[in-house]
């Protein structure tokens, strides 16, 4: 049964709060709303949660905010989402604090305020919420709303990784690979990439394949090792997450946060890449057998696999928020590209994309790219037709 906890990733990347469904003394209206949510009856969930939220039930307030944020069972309304998240956050609910932080980071439903976002993610992160820990780490990595500090970023990435965040595991691998905020340690990088890959992060598997052969650490480095000691102190003490489940992708500032698995520390912190560079990277990521060619079968299979991981509700209909998981509100061009591509794939214009639409989109695109009509698209052929949306 799909639980509300498994979709709370509005905060980025993505990780969810099982505490929302574990309390034994939950009010009847909240439990009734949860049952309706599990059954896909979002209108009924909204009705039940509205009643419970009106009595001050923090979980119902958060659930109602989520519905308004996603436009499920009620019209999408960022202001209403922010209102209900704020009420739940005021009662100390970590998931609500994290989702509200995302709204402040993006300026959705509230005025954009990165300092406020950082404060909320700090509160949520100290309560053990891995999504908040990951997003806060990205803020320190970039210097958004806080003083830039690789050491503090590394400490929060570690907390997110150890709390089960797959994106945190990938990010920590990058931190060790690059030696930012910690001593460079490729064996630790391989350890965390392997952990993320085991948990379904395809980008981590690609990174492992790209790295030179070498030892893999048998265990994570001690918290106080190397330059990580001061970083951990800077991040503060964090309670261990309980009952935490992770979402497939998530990076700051991700709406319905999810951040995609390809939203990495290195790529998300660099200047906007040229169209040719992005197209080449896309080619390499989709060349799954690394033979230097793209075929329709391998690209479509890979894209459908990614699409399935984006589908928070397991209903086969992917919203723009789900599809553009890795959108960074500070990179307007990236956001625009993602939504342009979504609109192109959405052939019937209903605001959702399906596996069939994705299949048809890439079939046509690859047929156009196959200039030699041999079923194999070379990098040069791809670059000749790839638009600005890759």
List the CATH number of the domain containing 318: 1.10.238
pLDDT at 319 over 60: yes
Alpha-carbon distance 173 to 26, whole Å? Answer: 39
Q: How far is CA 117 from the centre of its chain?
A: 16
DSSP annotation of 125: H
Would you say residue 344 lies in a domain?
Answer: yes
Q: How confident is the model at residue 74 (pLDDT cuts 50, 70, 90)?
A: very high
pLDDT at 254: 30
Secondary structure of residue 12 in the 3-state scheme? coil
pLDDT at 148: 93
As a dihedral over the C-alpha atoms of residue 378, residue 384, residue 386, residue 388, rounded to 10 degrees, the angle is 140
pLDDT at 118: 95
Would you say residue 104 lies in a domain?
Answer: no
Residues 358-387, mean pLDDT to the nearest whole number: 88
pLDDT digits (tens, 9 = 90+) for 224-234: 444 443 333 33
Would you say residue 159 lies in a domain?
Answer: no
Question: Cβ distance 156 to 286 under 8 Å?
Answer: no
Query: For 246, phi and psi rounded to 5 degrees?
Result: -110, 155
Alpha-carbon distance 348 to 60, whole Å? Answer: 34
Residues 314-335, mean pLDDT to the nearest whole number: 67
Would you say residue 135 lies in a domain?
Answer: no
Question: Cβ distance 155 to 235 under 8 Å?
Answer: yes
Q: 316 is in which domain, residue-wise?
A: 271-385
Would you say residue 295 lies in a domain?
Answer: yes
Q: How confident is the model at residue 340 (pLDDT cuts 50, 70, 90)?
A: confident
Would you say residue 358 lies in a domain?
Answer: yes
Would you say residue 359 lies in a domain?
Answer: yes
Alpha-carbon distance 128 to 380, whole Å? Answer: 47
pLDDT at 274 over 70: no
Would you say residue 376 lies in a domain?
Answer: yes
Q: Count structural domains, the chain.
A: 1
Alpha-carbon distance 285 to 281, whole Å? Answer: 6
pLDDT digits (tens, 9 = 90+) for 117-132: 999 999 999 999 999 9
Please list the residues that pair with 331 across neighbouring strands.
none
Question: Cβ distance 323 to 339 under 8 Å?
Answer: no
Residues 6+ apart with CB under 8 A from 154: 137, 172, 175, 180, 181, 182, 227, 228, 231
pLDDT at 218: 67
């Amino acid at each position: 049964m799909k639980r509300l906890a498994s979709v709370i990733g509005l905060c980025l990347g993505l990780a969810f709060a099982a505490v929302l469904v574990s309390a034994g003394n939950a009010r009847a209206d909240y439990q009734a709303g949860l049952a309706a949510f599990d059954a896909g009856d979002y209108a009924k969930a909204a009705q039940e949660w509205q009643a419970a939220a009106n009595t001050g039930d923090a979980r119902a307030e958060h659930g109602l905010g989520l519905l308004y944020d996603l436009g499920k069972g009620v019209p999408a309304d960022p202001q209403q989402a922010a209102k209900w998240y704020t009420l739940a956050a005021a009662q100390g609910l970590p998931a609500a604090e994290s989702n509200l932080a995302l709204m402040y980071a993006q300026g959705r439903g509230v005025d954009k305020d990165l300092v406020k976002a950082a404060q909320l993610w700090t509160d949520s992160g100290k309560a053990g919420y891995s999504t908040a820990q990951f997003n806060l780490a990205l803020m320190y990595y970039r210097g958004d709303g806080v003083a830039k500090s690789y050491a503090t970023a590394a400490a929060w990435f570690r907390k997110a990784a150890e709390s089960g965040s797959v994106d945190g595991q990938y990010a920590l691998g990058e931190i060790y690979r690059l030696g930012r905020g910690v001593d460079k340690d490729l064996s630790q990088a391989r350890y965390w990439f392997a952990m993320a890959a085991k948990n379904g992060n395809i980008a981590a598997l690609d990174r492992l394949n790209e790295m030179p052969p070498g030892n893999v650490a048998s265990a994570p480095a001690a918290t106080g090792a190397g330059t990580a000691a001061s970083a951990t102190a800077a991040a503060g003490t964090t309670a261990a997450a309980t009952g935490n489940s992770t979402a497939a992708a998530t990076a700051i500032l991700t709406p319905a946060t999810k951040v995609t698995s390809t939203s990495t520390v290195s790529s998300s912190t660099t200047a906007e890449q040229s169209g040719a560079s992005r197209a080449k990277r896309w080619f390499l990521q989709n060349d799954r057998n690394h033979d230097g060619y793209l075929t329709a079968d391998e690209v479509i299979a890979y894209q459908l696999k990614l699409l399935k991981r984006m589908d928070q509700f397991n209903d086969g209909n992917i919203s723009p928020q789900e599809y553009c998981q890795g959108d960074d509100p500070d990179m307007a061009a990236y956001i625009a590209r993602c939504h342009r591509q979504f609109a192109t794939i959405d052939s019937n214009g209903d605001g959702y994309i399906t596996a069939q639409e994705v299949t048809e989109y890439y079939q046509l695109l690859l047929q156009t790219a196959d200039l030699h009509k041999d079923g194999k698209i070379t990098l040069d052929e791809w670059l000749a037709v790839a638009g600005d949306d890759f």
